[in-house]
Amino acid sequence: QVALVESGGGSVQTGGSLRLSCAASGLPVGETWMAWFRQATGKEREGVGIIYKSCDTFIMDSMKGRFTISRDNDKNVVYLQMSNLKPEDTAKYYCAAQRDELRGGLMAPSTYNIWGPGTQVTVSP
């Protein structure tokens, strides 16, 4: 059974750091398009970044320099390292996957067909 489970969320102060994990089962992260999204209360889900099968990464401009994505193929886990966090980063963070070729926008939620339940990140002023 294919599943994604995020962990590592929590509450931090402005300027703090968190590392989120996305543990995958039933699909190898090294052979899958893996992405991170976030959704703040009352807002649409927005893309954070993606790690390609090649291990190259893409991070949205607003988070570039503060967020990085990596993976551990042996553990079958994808990470989102977040630093210098700001209150506007407060959201529920989701891991998403697409095993087939991407047929939509890199950061369009509809491009991905496997989702985790999410983990909450709260950044206080």
Average pLDDT over residues 2-8: 97
At 36-68, the pLDDT tens digits run 999 999 999 999 999 998 889 999 999 999 999
Query: What percentage of residues in the chain have a pLDDT greater than 70?
Result: 100
Query: Six-digit token pair at 115?
Result: 């989702």
Distance separating alpha carbons of residues 95 and 25, to the nearest angstrom:
13
At 17-43, the pLDDT tens digits run 999 999 999 999 999 999 999 999 999
Residue 79 has pLDDT above 90, yes or no: yes
Distance separating alpha carbons of residues 94 and 38, to the nearest angstrom:
6
Residue 13 has pLDDT above 90, yes or no: yes
- Neighbouring CB atoms inside 10 A of 73's CB total 12
Question: Chain-wide mean pLDDT for the chain?
Answer: 96
| SS3 at position 122 | strand
